[in-house]
């Protein structure tokens, strides 16, 4: 499955956001270094900033740079004038959007889409079609889009309001698979129910050819499929604890080693905060303090973490202090080259409680000090 990153467009549509050109370019270049296949850099019809972002990135990036467009000649021309590699034309075929949003007939919309796609093709660019609210649209109309536009590289099914769960997604894709080649299908999920990543994984298993993602899930309302979650979940899907997990896959052609640093660079460029407990990226998700956990992880980190953070360019932090137990103190003493006698363990626990929380290196230094000073010396803060 290929990935289209939509951070620069979806993230910019969040209330109160207005990424400037330099921020978009810096973030786009970082994503290109990661090896992303498609980079949706903006909506050219909205203004010069997005047109310039697309033109600059298209000239520099290995990724195919995508401009979004409605099924309108002016929108398509704006994307083509910006020299987008791909023009992603979006349109609804469901009755609800046609009636309530556009006041247009389905036949009229299909003709507008046909004209837009022909315009893209005539200009020598690649055409994609995104179907708004596709997972709530009559399946017959979705199938018709695939049949009517057989030369479109991807027909993307959008869960526009984020209401579909993995079971419903699997069922819809299974039904669609009976009529169309799912390798031509894309998916675009929103995270309103907290299942966007799960939905994308279901789509990948079904054979869908492309998924839209964004860094940290940035996007309207609850956001989109987080790029980092989908990459990590796919990379570790077949991992089991053991000394030799075998060669590590590079899912989606992504530079897995650079995943976390690139995501951090993108978020910094866009001045977007990261919640501390955000999967993969949050500061707290690879930080451990529980005595049971840290003691075990000193021997084997895989006992209490789903993956090695450095595999994706991150890092783990073990924290020691008042919650550290005897087993953990013993392991720290051993790391310091000291014998974990009962007295030494007690002395180290006192020092950890007095000085904590401390990092692993700092805890080992305290253990070394216990060894050097003897266990009877009081912990810092206990003396005069």
Note the pLDDT tens digit of each residue in 66-117: 999 999 999 999 999 999 999 999 999 988 888 888 888 999 999 999 999 9
Residue 383 pLDDT > 60: no
**pLDDT value at position 52?**
98
Residue 239 pLDDT > 80: no
In a domain, residue 279? The reply is no
d(CA 305, CA 287) in angstroms, rounded, equals 10
| Over residues 272-289, mean pLDDT | 94
**pLDDT value at position 130?**
98
267 contact partners, CB below 8 Å, separation of at least 6: 215, 216, 273, 274, 281
Residue 55 pLDDT > 80: yes
Same domain, 290 and 265: no
In a domain, residue 205? The reply is yes
Residue 382 pLDDT > 60: no
Chain mean pLDDT for the chain: 93
| Over residues 282-286, mean pLDDT | 94
Widest pairwise Cα distance in the chain: 87
In a domain, residue 280? The reply is no
pTM of the model: 0.90
Looking up tokens 């079904």 gives 206
Same domain, 348 and 241: no
Residues forming a β-bridge with 91:
131
Which pLDDT band, with edges at 50, 70 and 90, does 242 fall under? low
In a domain, residue 169? The reply is yes
**pLDDT value at position 381?**
46
In a domain, residue 320? The reply is yes
| Over residues 256-267, mean pLDDT | 97
Name which of 21-35, 62-76, 108-122, 233-247 the model is least confident about: 233-247
**pLDDT value at position 150?**
97
Same domain, 15 and 148: yes
Same domain, 137 and 216: yes
| Over residues 123-149, mean pLDDT | 97
In a domain, residue 229? The reply is yes
Same domain, 203 and 291: no
Residue 177 pLDDT > 50: yes
More confident residue, 276 or 95: 276
Q: Which of 219, 236, 269 is the last residue of a domain?
A: 269
Domain count along the chain? 2
**pLDDT value at position 101?**
84
| CATH number of residue 40's parent domain | 3.20.20.70
**pLDDT value at position 245?**
53
> Residues 235, 256: contact at Cβ < 8 Å?
yes
Q: Which of 203, 238, 269 is the last residue of a domain?
A: 269
129 contact partners, CB below 8 Å, separation of at least 6: 88, 89, 90, 91, 113, 117, 145, 149, 152, 154, 155, 156
Range of the domain at 249: 2-269
Same domain, 262 and 292: no
Residue 377 pLDDT > 60: no
310 contact partners, CB below 8 Å, separation of at least 6: 316
Residue 375 pLDDT > 80: no
Which pLDDT band, with edges at 50, 70 and 90, does 209 fall under? very high
Q: What percent of the chain has pLDDT over 70?
A: 95
In a domain, residue 276? The reply is no
**pLDDT value at position 6?**
99
> Closest by alpha carbon to 370, among 343, 331, 291, 294?
343
**pLDDT value at position 41?**
98
| Over residues 329-345, mean pLDDT | 92
């Amino acid at each position: 499955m290929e990935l289209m990153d939509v951070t620069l467009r979806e993230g910019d549509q969040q209330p109160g956001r207005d990424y400037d050109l330099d921020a978009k370019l810096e973030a786009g270049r970082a994503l290109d270094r990661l090896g992303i296949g498609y980079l949706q850099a903006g909506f050219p019809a909205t203004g010069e900033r997005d047109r310039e972002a697309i033109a600059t990135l298209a000239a520099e990036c290995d990724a195919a740079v995508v401009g979004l467009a409605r099924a309108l000649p002016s929108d398509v021309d704006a994307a083509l004038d910006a020299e987008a590699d791909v023009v992603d034309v979006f349109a609804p075929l469901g009755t609800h959007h046609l009636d309530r949003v556009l006041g247009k007939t389905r036949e009229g919309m299909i003709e507008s889409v046909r004209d837009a796609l022909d315009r893209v093709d005539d200009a020598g660019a690649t055409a994609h079609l995104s179907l708004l609210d596709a997972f709530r649209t009559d399946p017959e109309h979705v199938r018709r889009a695939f049949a009517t536009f057989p030369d479109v590289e991807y027909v993307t099914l959008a869960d526009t309001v984020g209401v579909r769960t993995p079971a419903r997604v699997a069922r819809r894709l299974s039904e669609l698979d009976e009529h169309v080649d799912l390798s031509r299908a894309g998916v675009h999920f929103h995270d309103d129910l907290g299942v966007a990543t799960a939905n994308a994984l279901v789509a990948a298993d079904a054979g869908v050819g492309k998924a839209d993602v964004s860094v940290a899930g940035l996007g309207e309302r609850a956001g989109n499929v987080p790029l980092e979650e989908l990459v990590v979940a796919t990379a570790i899907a077949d991992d089991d604890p053991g000394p030799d997990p075998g060669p590590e896959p590079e899912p989606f052609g992504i530079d897995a080693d650079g995943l976390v640093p690139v995501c951090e660079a993108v978020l910094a460029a866009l001045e977007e905060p990261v919640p501390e407990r955000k999967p993969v990226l949050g500061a707290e998700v690879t930080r451990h303090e529980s005595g049971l956990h840290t003691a075990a992880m000193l021997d084997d980190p895989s006992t209490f973490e789903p993956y090695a953070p450095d595999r994706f360019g991150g890092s783990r932090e073990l924290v020691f202090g008042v919650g550290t137990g005897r087993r953990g103190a013993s392991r720290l003493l051993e790391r310091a080259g000291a014998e974990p006698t009962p007295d030494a363990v007690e002395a180290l626990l006192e020092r950890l409680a007095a000085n904590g929380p401390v990092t692993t290196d700092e805890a080992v230094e305290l253990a070394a000090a216990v060894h050097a000073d003897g266990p009877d010396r009081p912990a810092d803060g206990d003396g005069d």
